[in-house]
Structure formats: C-alpha cells, structure tokens
Amino acid sequence: MFSKYRKTDAKSDTVAPEPKVAPKASAETSNTSAGPGEAPKATRRAQELEAVPKAEIGVSDEKEAKRRQRLDELKTEMHNRLLDNLNLSALESAKESELRAEINAITSEQMAEMGVVLNREDRQMLNVELFDEVTGLGPLEPLLKDETVNDILVNGPNRIFVERNGRLELTDVRFKNERHLLRIIDKIVSAVGRRVDESNPYVDARLKDGSRFNAMVPPVAVDGSLVSIRKFKKEKLGIDDLVGFGAFSEEMAAYLQAAVSTRLNVIVSGGTGSGKTTTLNALSSFIDNKERVLTIEDTAELQLQQIHVGRMESRPPNVEGKGAVTQRDCLRNALRMRPDRIIVGETRGEEVIDMLQAMNTGHDGSMTTIHANSARDACSRLENMVAMSGIEMPIKAVRAQIASAVNLIVQASRLQDGSRRMVSITEVTGMEGEVISMQEVFRFQRTGLRPDGKIIGHFTACGVRSHYAERFRQWGYDLPAAIYEPVAAE
Ligand SMILES: Nc1ncnc2c1ncn2[C@@H]1O[C@H](COP(=O)(O)OP(=O)(O)OP(=O)(O)O)[C@@H](O)[C@H]1O
Ligand SMILES: [Mg+2]
C-alpha cells in the first residue's frame, strides 16, 4: 500500500533508528547486536511476543497488570516499527483522521506479520496510545486533555502526579523508562526552539497551547527527569466564579472592585500554586476599558478582557548566553509606552525597584503578585528584593518607598483541604517610626475541620473601616459601613 506518510524505503523487519525506546523486557539486550545463530533483535522481540498465548492478551481481570505490561511491550515494538515506516516529515501537514487511519493500517499489517492478535478494546487503546506517541506527548497526552487536571508533575519515568481540586494524586501513567521520558521532553522543548541536555539541564517554556512547562534532566535531577506543567485554562476563573467557589465573599468582591477601580496599587501575595495569577487576572476585570494596560510576565498567563492591552513576555538568554530580555528591561521600556497601568505577573527580582517607582510616580492602579506567606512577609520580601538588586538605601527609606507604593495586599492561600481562598485583605496605611503600618480589613476565619478533612470557616470583616473609604466615596464607590462589620460564626 502506498501512502505519502510511509517511507518509501521502509523495511518492517529492521531495528528502529534513534530515537529508540528499549522495550522493558529486552532492555539488557537492547545495546548488544545479535550473536551468531541468533535471530535479529526485532524478530526476536516478535517471537517473544508471539510466544504469548493469544487468548491471554485480552480480558482476564486478575492478569490485568501482566496484560498491561505486554501491551506496553507491544506498543514499544509497534512504535519502533511505526517510526521505521512513517515518513515523519509528512506528518506535519497530515490531517488527524488520515494519520489515525494510517497508523491503524500500519499496526494491523505489522501485527499480522508478527502473528499477534488483540481484542477490539486493546487494539483501540493501542492505536490511541500510538497516535499520542507519534504526534503528541505520549503518556502525558491524556492528562493534558483531562479538563479536571490543573498541574502535571513528573518525578522520573514511574511517578507521575496530577493536581485535581487542589490535591495531588499519584496516577498510574508511566513512561517506559528514562529514555522515553527524555524523548518526550526533547520533543516539547525543540518544538518551542529550546534545548535541554546535560550541559543545559533545565528549561522553562510555554507550550503551544499556552501551558507553562518546566523540565530538569539528569544528572541535576537525581532520580530521573523532573517535569512540571501548569495547564493553561482557556476559560479563566472570573470574580463570580471565585465567589461561587468560596474563594472570597461578596463583600470582599465589592471592596476589591472599589480598590481596583479607584486605582489603588495592589499586590497579590501567596505560596506556590495558591491562585495568585488567577486572582490577579480576576481583579483585572475591574479595570476600566478606557485604560491602557501593559502586562509583563516571564510566562504569559494573564488574559485581560480589556480592549487596550499590550502584553510582554521576558526572554531567557540563548545557548551562547546572549539575547536575554528581563522583566526589568520590559518594565523600563513599558514606562516609555504611556501606560495607565502596569501589571507584572510576578515580581521576583531586580524589577522590584522599577515596579515600586512606577507605583509611586503616576502609574497607580498597578498590580503584581509576590511569593510570600502573609502581608507582612510580602513587605519583607520586597525589602529583600530591593537589597538584592544592589541598590544601597537605608532600610527606613526602602520601607517608606514600599509603604507609599503599595496600598493593598491580598493574601491567597491553598488550604490543607485543597481549597484556594483569599485568606486576608490587608491595607498598608503608612509608616510608624521604622515600621510599615498595616490594617487587616477582611479575613478567612477558620473554625474547625469536618470528618472528611474539609475546613470549616467563613469570611469576615475585621471591624475596621477602610483607610481608603473616603477615596472610594469620592470616586463614587460608597460602600455601606456594614461590610466592615465582623460576621459571627454560624
Ligand atoms: N479559587 C480557586 N478555586 C479553584 N481553583 C483555583 C482557584 N484559584 C486558582 N485555581 C486553579 O489553581 C491553579 C493554580 O492557580 P494559579 O496559577 O493562579 O496559582 P499561582 O499562585 O499563580 O501559582 P504559581 O506560584 O505557580 O505562579 C490553576 O489551575 C487555577 O485554575
Ligand atoms: Mg502564578
């Protein structure tokens, strides 16, 4: 059968060229050539597979693990044969349906040649997995498609975790071995023009669909390659969704609307994966459509709904160590681009100086996130970043600068039951001596734990009127005094 997706010189019984994947069972022999009198490797594999009684590859429940192992071995063999037979350069332009049909046809041919018979269900599964191997990201593909998965975390070939509803779960997805995992990593990073190997052992990238990707390979990653993927969600959570999920209360939403609309400078603080970027994105919906907003990120994740948005993404250096464009470079340039507001995805380094200056000099209404565990901690982190950036300034001056730049700190947190909540909203009110003064306006009051591990609690105001209440009123956001009154537990 002729097809443009087939190699013209394909020989089905030759050993596959690199990248090769060693079948588990024959891993020890995979680097040795066949000795005298022995059958060629591929034929030997086929014989081994043939030796599996046909009836056994199939439905037996108690032999499920064994069956899965055999299917994996068969998949390895078929994958090698597919690589031998498929014209990889023609795949780029292939239609999915054509390619699926072609893969099905080749596997049928090859299985007939090997004398392997599979039931319908296994055959379909094999074809789907082979398609994912050839075109996509192999074992990761179903996890990427699974809408309920937020994060995918790979700790070497045999331990793949996912995060669902704020909780980590170990999956039964496996790579065949480290080489298989490395091949998939290589496929991902080369598609975005990057490289990862021993001399360049980690990489941060954005996948085609917008997902954030990070990988670190051995020997720096000691027990096998480490991969983390934060999946991109087309439908970002909005304020209403977050209120609906119990991430914050309606009163807090009304307060935040007033704060963002009246151009207070806001910092969203939180731990890793606590929902900082999601919160920042949701808060940005309160920005007026007339304003020009510039966003600066290391990995472009924000999706602002306004019409006048300019997005920037920093760039790491190339292999020769040149061509880097840092967040600070973007920020400095942004100041010359007549922004009404600047949003920095995450402040983590030297750009802090320019961010604080921007907040202090006419670009009020700017926002950023910061990795910290409380409002006070966020201020210390800012101080440290200023110190690390090499600027010599007395600590009091640094604090004064922070106190006048930052108006509001929203603390996001992932609680132990996996729920993500805004656990505190704190206003920065000025300086008292050498200390930045603050007042907490809203918080999440935890009251107990349900037997199923769910946290019981409620949002409450802290009984203080906003420091910015007068500003809100002048701008037309006359929040009722009642929203500042504490709520008793039910
Ligand atoms: N309140 C929420 N309820 C449910 N899911 C949420 C909530 N907030 C965020 N998420 C989800 O949690 C994941 C992590 O959120 P996000 O990227 O905003 O965290 P982050 O703090 O910015 O993480 P990082 O520290 O890695 O930058 C996302 O998949 C997001 O959709
Ligand atoms: Mg983030």
pLDDT tens for 246-258 read 999 999 999 999 9
Measured from the Cβ of residue 374, the count of other Cβ atoms closer than 10 Å reads 18
| CB distance 272 to ligand 1 below 6 Å | yes
Taking the centre of ligand 2 as the mean of its atom positions, its distance from the CA of residue 256, in whole angstroms, is 19
Cβ < 5 A residues, ion ligand 2: 276-277
Q: Give the up-direction half-sphere exposure of residue 412: CA atoms within 13 A in the CB hemisphere.
A: 26
Taking the centre of ligand 2 as the mean of its atom positions, its distance from the CA of residue 366, in whole angstroms, is 17
pLDDT of 385 over the 70 cut: yes
Evaluated on CA atoms 17, 21, 26, 28, the torsion sign reads: positive
Mean pLDDT to the nearest integer, 367-383:
96
* More confident position, 386 or 41: 386
pLDDT tens for 407-434 read 999 999 999 899 999 999 999 999 999 9
Taking the centre of ligand 2 as the mean of its atom positions, its distance from the CA of residue 358, in whole angstroms, is 21
Range in 1-10, 65-74, 348-357 with the lowest mean pLDDT: 1-10
CA distance 408 to 224: 42
The pLDDT value given to residue 192: 77
pLDDT band at 54 (very low <50, low <70, confident <90, very high): very low
Range in 163-172, 187-196, 250-259, 454-463 with the lowest mean pLDDT: 187-196
pLDDT tens for 65-116 read 787 778 778 887 887 787 777 765 566 567 888 888 888 888 888 888 888 8
Mean pLDDT to the nearest integer, 14-26:
36
Q: Which of 206, 228, 231, 277 to mutate to test the pocket of ligand 1 (most atoms within 8 A of CB)?
A: 277
Measured from the Cβ of residue 91, the count of other Cβ atoms closer than 10 Å reads 15
Which run of H or of E encompasses 408?
A: strand 408-414
Q: What is the mean pLDDT of the chain?
A: 84
Residues 267/409, Cβ–Cβ less than 8 Å: yes
Mean pLDDT to the nearest integer, 26-51:
40
CA distance 422 to 402: 22
Give, as one character, the DSSP assignment of residue 364: T
pLDDT of 369 over the 90 cut: yes
CA distance 14 to 55: 28
Question: For residue 254, what are the contacts with CB-CB under 8 A and spacing of at least 6?
Answer: 479, 483
pLDDT of 57 over the 50 cut: no
pTM of the full structure: 0.76
Question: Mapping DSSP to helix (H, G, I), strand (E, B) and coil, where does residue 374 land?
Answer: coil
pLDDT of 43 over the 70 cut: no
3-state secondary structure labels for all residues of 121-165: HHHHHHHHHHHHHHHCCHHHHHHHHCCCCCEEEEECCCCEEEEEC
pLDDT of 143 over the 70 cut: yes
The pLDDT value given to residue 52: 44
Which residue's CA is the closest to the ligand 1 atom numbered 8? 275
Q: Which residue has the tokens 């907040």?
A: 359
pLDDT tens for 286-319 read 999 999 999 999 888 898 888 999 999 998 887 7
Question: For residue 471, what are the contacts with CB-CB under 8 A and spacing of at least 6?
Answer: 262, 264
CA distance 446 to 179: 47
Q: Which atom of ligand 1 is nearest to the CA of 236?
A: 31
461 - beta bridge partners? 442
Residues 170/178, Cβ–Cβ less than 8 Å: no
* More confident position, 137 or 445: 445
pLDDT tens for 148-186 read 999 999 999 999 999 998 889 999 998 888 988 998 898
Strand order in the sheet with 151-155: 167-170, 160-164, 151-155, 226-230, 212-216, 202-206
| Tokens, residue 89 | 């350069």
The pLDDT value given to residue 89: 59
